[in-house]
Structure 1
Amino acid sequence: SGSVMPFFNALLGTNFPSPGLENPLGAEVHLVVRTHEEAIPEFLPDMIRTFNGGCTYPPGVPTNFGAPGPNACEDIQFSIHQP
Structure 2
Amino acid sequence: SSRGIGRAIAEQLAIQGAKVVVSSRKIEACQEVVDAINAKHGAGTALAVAANISSKDALQHLVDETNRVYGKVDVLVCNA
**TM-score class, shorter:** under 0.3
TM-score (norm 2): 0.21
Flag the structure with higher helix content: 2
The structure carrying a bigger strand percent of its residues is: 1
- Which structure has more RCO (C-alpha within 8 Å, separation ≥ 6)? 1
**What's the TM-score once normalised by structure 1's chain length?**
0.21
